[in-house]
Amino acid sequence: MLKSLSVSNYALITSLEVEFREGLNMITGETGAGKSILLGALGLILGNRADGQVLKDKSQKCMIEAGFEVRGLGFGGFFEANDLDYDSTVIVRREITPQGKSRAFINDTPVNLNLLRDLGLMLVDIHSQHQNLMLNDPGYALHVIDQFGGLSSQVSDYAAGYQALKGLDKKVQTLTEALARSRADQDYLEFQFSQLDQASLTTGELEALEQEQELLEHAGDIQLRLTESVQILHESEDAIETRLKQVVAGLQSVSGYLHSLTEPVSRLQSVYLEIQETARELNNLLDHAESNPDRLTVIIERIDLINNLLRKHHVVSVPELIELRDQYSMRLAGIQISDEELQRVMAERKVLFTEVGEKADALTLARKKVWPGFERKVTALARDLGMPNAIFRVEHKPSDEFLADGKDEIRFLFAANKNQVPEELQRVASGGETSRLMLSIKSLISDSLAVPTVIFDEIDAGVSGDIADKVGNLMVRLSSGRQILNITHLPQVASKGDHHYLVYKFDDEKSTHTSIRRLENEERIMELAKMLSGEKITQEAIQNARVLLKK
């Protein structure tokens, strides 16, 4: 619950501090006294956006601080998840600088506005008159039915399946679009791959072919030179091999007389043997240098094929062509994998679609069981609050598609007069009637309200007399088990509070200020008397105030 609120330099508030109590807290004050200002300050604590124009003194910062008692409310998980220090009393602070910058703190830890807003939704439910318009919102109507029927866990279970289904829908769309793009290129990829694959390229092939081409193109010259060389070295009458053999034989015949010839003769013998071996090798090479026009044609065609592929694909080597071929192969394989993945996801979606449909149908059935009782109770409360001919109806329209909360579209219909067909609230209900309907609905779903503090801002507008008394009694019931802060102008309602606070304005020499204080005993009686009779308080008004307070 909200334990304390401290505000400084905000609108008409120079500085104020107030402590709130458990149960039903009534807040009153003259029109323009600053009750809305107080709510605005509290809204900043709950994560509303700040405006630098709210500073009373533009040279000083604005600071708002609130203390909340959260013992036993299960807030520990939220604090742990967001790395915040947890204590049974949570201190929330908001600061606005003269430059318009805003800072927020939870238990002295700086936090961003989204986190502050998340915590605020867990701490306080503020119901102002403009929220009555929510009754015209089909989404809110559905939320109310689910709250009244205790269907939150069933709704959450459906919502989880729905979100998973939406995720699969997106995945199917992404895969389908990717597959369509791939298939648009498939013929091109298959042609390019087939051409490169049929070429049966190997690394180093082009260089080897070019060498063989040169050999075959110059085969005649090579044979001529080899033949001449063999003739000179070995086959002619005065061949080098024969002449050298004669030289060695001649020198050997006289080497016994000149010992220094031994080494030269030995070298000449080695040269003779080398020439003999070389001649044999050259003779053998004649067999490999034969002219082969057919083979040359094949080689030229193969080289032309490879060069054409190099030019076509704008690369300079066969290994690059091989890499391209492998890339085309992988992309074609990817198309097959994508198709298989799409089929798998679509099969998974089909199963989930059935499951979500079953959950939606079960949710619809549960809601149909809930709303007749809801219609009766809201109608009864509305009649009790001064609308004797009221009829409240829940209109249901099934959806053909899955929605975030099921397959149901719900609207609230209302009729205040006899023989009137129930219609949408905004067409037939006045502001006061809408306020009382909202109060009736809030009272019916109060047990499911998770927040410890509920604030009503003049929800009792437009009623008086006996109806006001009944509104006050409904407030009392609502405050059972939670803290209620109710801003009201009705003495009959204000008298029902466990505690009474007065918002007031006062002037000093420089400016006007807004403040708040808790009223005790005679102060409260006098405030109620003033609300009953106006500025001139009569004895009758004082007596009536005592009667209202039963004092």
pLDDT at 48: 87
Query: What's the rounded mean pLDDT across residues 357-379?
Result: 94
- Evaluate whether 498 touches 23 at the Cβ level (below 8 Å): yes
Sheet containing 62-69: order of strands: 13-19, 2-10, 62-69, 89-96, 102-106, 109-111
Comparing 174-178, 355-359, 503-507, the range with the smallest average pLDDT is: 174-178
Percent of the chain at pLDDT exceeding 70: 96
Res. 337 pLDDT band, cuts 50 70 90: low
Rounded average pLDDT over 376-403: 91
Residue 205, Cα to own-chain centre: how many angstroms? 55
Average pLDDT over residues 122-140: 78
Q: Is the pLDDT of residue 339 over 90?
A: no
Token pair, residue 508, equals: 């000093």
Size (the chain), residues: 551
Determine the angle formed by the axes of helices 465-478 and 431-444, rounding to 10 degrees. 30
**Which residues make beta-bridge pairs with 460?**
none
What confidence tier does 57 reach under pLDDT thresholds 50, 70, 90? confident
For the sheet with 483-487, list strands across it.
124-127, 453-457, 483-487, 24-28, 499-507, 512-519
Distances (CA, A) of 293 to 203, 214, 227, 286, 287: 25, 12, 21, 17, 15
The Cα–Cα gap between 213 and 147 comes to 89
Determine the pLDDT at residue 121.
86
As to burial, measured by CB atoms within 10 angstroms (0-12 exposed, 13-18 middle, 19+ buried), residue 219 is: middle
Least confident of 40-44, 71-75, 405-409, 413-417: 71-75
Distance (Å, rounded) from C-alpha 462 to C-alpha 430?
A: 9
User: What mean pLDDT do residues 154-167 have?
Assistant: 93
pLDDT (average), residues 99-117: 92
Confidence of residue 360 (pLDDT cuts 50, 70, 90): very high
Quick check: 129 pLDDT over 70? no
Q: Which of 81-95, 286-300, 422-436 is predicted most confidently?
A: 81-95
| Architecture of the CATH domain 1-128+458-519 | 3-Layer(aba) Sandwich (3.40)
pLDDT of amino acid 551: 54
Higher pLDDT pick, 216 / 470: 470
Task: Compute the mean pLDDT over every residue in the chain, rounded to the nearest whole number.
Answer: 87
Extents of the domains making up the chain: 1-128+458-519
CA distances, 482 to each of 46, 70, 125, 334 (Å): 18, 12, 11, 61
pLDDT of residue 200: 87
* pLDDT tens-digit readout, 190-241: 777 888 888 888 898 888 888 878 877 777 788 788 778 878 888 787 888 8
| Position 134 pLDDT exceeds 80 | no
pLDDT for the residue 130: 61
Q: 0.75 exceeded by the pTM?
A: no
User: What is the rounded distance in angstroms from the CA atom of residue 98 to the CA atom of residue 120?
Assistant: 25
Per-residue CA distances from 186 to 132, 191, 418, 542 (Å): 59, 9, 72, 92
- Range 421-433 average pLDDT: 84
Average pLDDT over residues 114-126: 89
- DSSP code per residue over 14-42: EEEEEE--SSEEEEE--TTSSHHHHHHHH
Whether 379 has a pLDDT exceeding 80, the answer reads: yes
Instruction: Identify which has the larger pLDDT, 128 or 72.
Output: 72
> Which ranges in 385-430 belong to alpha helices (H)?
425-428
What residues have CB less than 8 Å from 11, skipping those under 6 apart? 34, 37, 40, 41, 54, 56, 514
Structure confidence at residue 448 (pLDDT):
67
What CA–CA distance (Å, rounded) separates 120 from 107? 14
Residue 410 β-bridge partners: 396
- pLDDT of 341: 77
Q: Is the pLDDT of residue 160 over 90?
A: yes
297-333, pLDDT tens digit by residue? 888 888 888 889 889 889 889 898 888 888 888 877 7
334 pLDDT higher than 80: no
The confidence score (pLDDT) of residue 89 equals 93
Largest CA distance in the chain: 169
